[in-house]
């Protein structure tokens, strides 16, 4: 019972960056608001999973679509190298189609691993590496550079670990390895918790929008 309570607390700790996001929403630059919206939708998804306000699939569908689209859009804004608008739209459409494909088959319970969602997360994470490289090569205020890292790196760590665990489970999960994989899977909750702390700091230190008289 004690473990279950800790498990729930870790899942619901997303409320921390969500509340901070609400507090700083009007003060931060516009691009960070997209990230805040993704956090808020993620918080609703986690709370719905725990308290079952409505069918889990509905919130999960909304969260998966918005989180991938908004994160990709944020990364496009941060990219200092010019990317054609047609290419951006195409990538958004590709990610959307892949996510919709996954959600449809997940709803039908045809398979338990969201392969397309994993592919999208890994692709966005590698795009994040490109942005980190750019931030080192371009003049940028130290706090703004740190803020971006606090968003990009946790997302990358989660995506890589989530991908590795799901692939290993797909091929190696059985009655003998069940306990091992459950323990490994629970590490994701701690990764998420540390990510939420990083996101909170990122939002607190995010560049503020300019005020005009």
Residue 65 tokens read as 């679509």
Per-residue model confidence (pLDDT) at position 171: 82
Do 10 and 189 contact (CB within 8 A), yes or no? yes
* CB distance 102 to 65 below 8 Å: no
pLDDT tens digits for range 130-189 = 898 886 656 557 778 889 999 999 999 999 998 888 888 878 878 888 888 888 888 998
**3-class SS letters over the chain:** CHHHHHHHHHHHCCHHHHHHHHHHCCCECHHHHHHHHHHHHHHHHHHHHHHCCCCHHHHHHHHHHHHHHHHHHHHHHHCCCCCCHHHHHHHHHHHHHHHHHHHHHHHCCCCCCCHHHHHHHHHHHHHHHHHHHHHHHCCCCHHHHHHHHHHHHHHHHHHHHHHHHHHHHHHHCCCCCHHHHHHHHHHHHHHHHHHHHHHHHHHHHCCECCCCC
Domains for the chain: give ranges and CATH numbers.
Answer: 2-205 (1.20.1070)
Give pLDDT, residue 211: 61
pLDDT in tens, 23-58: 999 999 999 999 999 999 999 998 998 888 877 778
Could you tell me the two tokens for 141?
A: 């205020």
How far, in Å, CA of 58 to CA of 48, rounded? Answer: 10
User: In sequence order, which residues have a C-beta less than 8 Å from that of residue 8 and are 6 or more positions away?
Assistant: 50
* pLDDT on residue 83: 85
Q: How far is the C-alpha of 201 from the C-alpha of 69, rounded, in Å? A: 23
Residue 35 has a pLDDT of 95
Report the pLDDT value the prediction gives residue 19, as an integer from 0 to 100.
97
User: What CA–CA distance (Å, rounded) separates 90 from 88?
Assistant: 5
The band of 201, judged by pLDDT with boundaries at 50, 70 and 90, is very high
pLDDT value of position 2: 45
Query: Which tokens belong to 209?
Result: 């929008």
Reading the block at residue 6, the tokens are 């800790």
More confident residue, 40 or 121: 40
User: What pLDDT does 157 receive?
Assistant: 94
The answer, yes or no, to whether residue 105 has pLDDT greater than 60, is yes
Among 31-35, 83-87, 113-117, which is the least confidently predicted range? 113-117
Of 16-25, 73-82, 108-117, 203-212, the one with minimum mean pLDDT is: 108-117
User: In the chain, what's the furthest Cα-to-Cα distance?
Assistant: 67
């Amino acid at each position: 019972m004690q473990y279950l309570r800790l498990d729930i607390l870790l899942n619901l700790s997303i409320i921390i960056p969500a509340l901070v996001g609400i507090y700083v929403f009007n003060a931060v630059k516009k691009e960070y608001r997209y990230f805040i919206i993704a956090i808020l939708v993620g918080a609703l998804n986690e709370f719905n999973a725990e308290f079952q306000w409505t069918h889990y699939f509905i919130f999960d569908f909304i969260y998966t679509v918005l989180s991938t689209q908004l994160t990709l859009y944020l990364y496009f804004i941060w990219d200092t190298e010019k990317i054609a608008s047609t290419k951006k739209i195409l990538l958004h459409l590709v990610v959307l189609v892949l996510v919709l494909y996954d959600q449809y088959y997940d709803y039908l319970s045809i398979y338990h691993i969201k392969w397309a969602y994993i592919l999208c997360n890994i692709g966005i994470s590698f795009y994040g590496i490109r942005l980190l490289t750019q931030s080192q090569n371009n003049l940028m205020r130290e706090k703004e550079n740190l803020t971006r890292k606090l968003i990009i790196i946790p997302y990358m760590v989660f995506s890589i670990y989530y991908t590795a665990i799901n692939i290993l489970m797909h091929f190696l999960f059985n009655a003998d390895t069940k306990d091992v994989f459950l323990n490994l899977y629970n590490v994701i909750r701690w990764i998420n918790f540390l990510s939420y702390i990083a996101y909170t700091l990122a939002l607190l230190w995010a560049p503020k929008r300019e005020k005009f008289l």
